[in-house]
Amino acid sequence: MSKENMKAYWKENLGYLAILLSIWFLVSYVFGIFLVEQLNTIKFAGFKLGFWFAQQGSMYVFVILIVIYVKLMNKLDKKYGVDE
Amino acid sequence: MGILAWTWILVGLSFTLYIGIAIWARAGTSKEFYIAGGGVPPIMNGMATAADWMSAASFISLAGIVSFTGYDGSVYLMGWTGGYVLLALLLAPYLRKFGKFTVPDFIGDRYYSSTARVVAVIAALIVSFTYVAGQMRGVGIVFSRYLEVDIDTGVYIGMAIVLFYAVLGGMKGITYTQVAQYCVLIFAFMVPAIFISFQMTGNPIPQLGFGSTGEDGIYLLDKLDGLSTELGFTEYTSGSKSMIDVFAITFALMVGTAGLPHVIVRFFTVPRVKDARASAGWALFFIAILYTTVPAVAVFARTKLIETVSNKNYSELPQWVANWEKTGLLKYEDKNGDGIVQYVADKDTNELTIDRDIMVLANPEIANLPNWVVALVGAGGLAAALSTAAGLLLVIASSISHDLIKKIINPSISEKSELWAARLSAAVAVLVAGYFGIHPPGFVAAVVALAFGLAAASFFPAIILGIFDKRMNKEGAISGMIVGLGLMTYYMAKYKLGWIGEMPAPSEWWFGISPEGFGTVAMFANFIVSVVVSRLTPAPPQEVQDIVEHIRIPSGAGEATSH
């Protein structure tokens, strides 16, 4: 793999990481901790929204984030011909 | 059939299964011993990682902790799952590409230094030993509760079982027994949860059930909030910890998870880089099944408990209250002599003391479930404790036989001798862990927080910088790890264990952060020191920079090698 290609591959990878980790931070720290009181004023079914993010929602999103990451990276590996 | 008979049957059956698997999957080479030959399929590795990860504490205590702390318990739920996102995105694929056997292997090679390797070995040993001490104790406690033997006997039985399959099978034996143990523990956790959810809300899915209404048409969480405030407790869905402390603890647990050697090493066992990514996803999926059920169980158990005992006549309480009073997990003291149970937050007038573990252990009885379900919970608790203990013991064994003996003391050791050295170290580690289990050090309660804080403060920055910062050199990494470890140890010793002078009050915590959350501060200190020192000292040699380029590209991971 050429030096330029490798740089481009790494840059795209870092781009994915930045987006996915921002969502990771948002659902757990922002929704579940920093804004929990504000979100708790919103209710769906028997759940206060902030509480739901802290004890349920964040964990669902974590699993989904890894699934998306695996899909994105498999595609990226193929694009640059570095898959196995 | 009684509970005890059922317990013997289920525990006996599950142990026969584990031992059978251990004999079938015994290790023939040191590579099989350390990383199961590197050929574990991602789904299986995910299950094994989940069993390795979820200890007796997750299985037995976590629902109780959440039950009694409400929103504050979220730190454990998010903290012990969110770390897998970091593992999947920032560590697992690159370490798999690097392709060695242990975490100190990576630190030693990436930082081209035996000093770095030794610091990493010491950190791995401290983290794993503090963690395993609690596990062996957990094995003993579960045995004693369910099989009516004393705790020490329970620890001996647990030692014998772990000795058998960890020493014989190494990582290969452990991985396949952990797959079986995961199935046992998740079944044991979910069956009572589904029963209870259906009983209380008519919805069999616990994750949805605890947001539904009970028979009286009131939302369960609203009812619990009301009951809690009525009795003087904090409202269930609001916390009592400060926001900065909740943040710091959650962060320290996430980063600590991603820095724990017994978790990281699992990603060396899969064939390819993409398998490492996928197995982190599977691991979190299998963990999340239990972790998303935990808050539901917590709400069901707490509501049911308050409704059953609060302001009720003591002589009319159901049979399970008397059963658990015998074990000492439940205590009733009629302070005002009126024969009625006053269960309130105020310590002076509260008459009922409840151990948090009862929330999972007694749940099947509280919900009137059949005896085999009660026994199943015992088998599940043992599976959780044994699988975690085995995984930790393997890290200890490979740190000694591979990182110390093979890499530092005697590099010319033959393959066969190294395998025997690994087995011997595993045996010695089991004995030491068993000793801690029988004579638990006074700080066992603090032990898990300590292990996470130490892992966060030492390994996480060194590994991340090793992958993402090509300029990071040995001077930076070593000084960072030492500062992180030292700071964390000092803070724990002073503010948690009270070893330095008198134990200071929580009002004196730095930035209002508790010892449990201090790993976050120590980790940032490590990062800052590493980066500053590395920029003031020479860049790492070209071949090390080439290693970094190499691990960033997935292709050609091939097989893990010892050279």
By the CB < 8 Å criterion, does B292 face chain A?
Answer: yes
Structure tokens at B108: 């030693």
pLDDT at B240 over 80: yes
pLDDT at B446 over 60: no
| Domain spans, chain A | 3-78
By the CB < 8 Å criterion, does A76 face chain B?
Answer: no
End-to-end CA distance of chain A: 14
Task: Give a yes or no: residue B312 inside a domain.
Answer: no
By the CB < 8 Å criterion, does B85 face chain A?
Answer: yes
pLDDT at B563 over 50: no
CA B234-B450-B425 angle, to 5 degrees, is 140
B90: nearest CA in chain A? Answer: A17
Radius of gyration of chain B (CA): 24
End-to-end CA distance of chain B: 57
Task: Give a yes or no: residue B165 inside a domain.
Answer: yes
Q: Which residues of A touch B246 (CB under 8 A)?
A: 33
Separation of alpha carbons B48 and B291, rounded Å: 16
Helix (H) or strand (E) holding B331: strand B330-332
CA distances (Å), origin B5, targets B2, B222, B363, B371, B372:
5, 40, 19, 9, 9
Chain mean pLDDT for chain B: 87
Give the mean pLDDT of B372-395.
Answer: 87
Q: Which residues of A touch B291 (CB under 8 A)?
A: 59
The reply to whether residue B552 touches residue A62, judged by beta carbons under 8 angstroms, is no
pLDDT per residue as tens digits for the range B346-380: 888 899 888 877 788 888 887 788 888 888 888 89
Separation of alpha carbons B330 and B315, rounded Å: 15
Give the mean pLDDT of B511-532.
Answer: 94
The reply to whether residue A46 touches residue B220, judged by beta carbons under 8 angstroms, is yes
Of the residues B49, B94, B224, B237, the best mutation for testing chain A's interface (the one with the most A CB atoms within 10 Å of its CB) is B237
Which residues are registered as beta bridge partners of B219?
Answer: B213
Task: Give a yes or no: residue B315 inside a domain.
Answer: no
Exposed e or buried b per residue across B232-267, where buried means at least 16 C-beta atoms within 10 angstroms of its C-beta: ebbebbbbebeebbbbbbbbbbbbbbbbbbbbbbbb
Of the residues B74, B470, B513, the best mutation for testing chain A's interface (the one with the most A CB atoms within 10 Å of its CB) is B74
Question: B411: how many CB neighbours lie within 10 A of its CB?
Answer: 8
Number of domains in chain B: 1
By the CB < 8 Å criterion, does B549 face chain A?
Answer: yes
When pLDDT is cut at 50, 70 and 90, the band that residue B557 belongs to is low
Sign of CA pseudo-dihedral B139, B140, B143, B145: negative
The reply to whether residue A74 touches residue B210, judged by beta carbons under 8 angstroms, is no
B window 207-246, beta carbon within 8 A of A:
207-208, 210-213, 219-222, 237-238, 243, 246
Question: B353: how many CB neighbours lie within 10 A of its CB?
Answer: 13
Burial of A81 (0-12, 13-18, 19+ CB in 10 A): exposed
Q: What ipTM did this prediction achieve? A: 0.96
By the CB < 8 Å criterion, does B126 face chain A?
Answer: no
pLDDT per residue as tens digits for the range B241-299: 899 999 999 999 999 999 888 889 889 888 899 999 999 999 999 999 999 999 999 99
Q: Which residues of B touch A51 (CB under 8 A)?
A: 71, 74, 221, 237
Task: Give a yes or no: residue B353 inside a domain.
Answer: no
Decide: B385 and B20 in contact? Cβ < 8 Å.
no
SS3 content of chain B, % helix, strand, coil (to 5): 75, 0, 25
pLDDT at B445 over 60: no
The reply to whether residue B277 touches residue A1, judged by beta carbons under 8 angstroms, is no
Separation of alpha carbons A48 and B441, rounded Å: 41
| Distance from the B89 Cα atom to the nearest Cα atom in chain A, whole angstroms | 7
B window 130-169, beta carbon within 8 A of A:
none
The reply to whether residue A70 touches residue B288, judged by beta carbons under 8 angstroms, is no
Q: Which residues of A touch B74 (CB under 8 A)?
A: 32-33, 51, 54-55
Separation of alpha carbons B62 and B436, rounded Å: 22
Burial of B442 (0-12, 13-18, 19+ CB in 10 A): exposed
Going by C-alpha positions, the residue among B513, B443, B463, B520 that lies closest to residue B131 is B443
Report the CATH number that the domain containing residue B405 is assigned in CATH. 1.20.1730.10
Q: Which domain holds residue B91?
A: 3-307+365-445
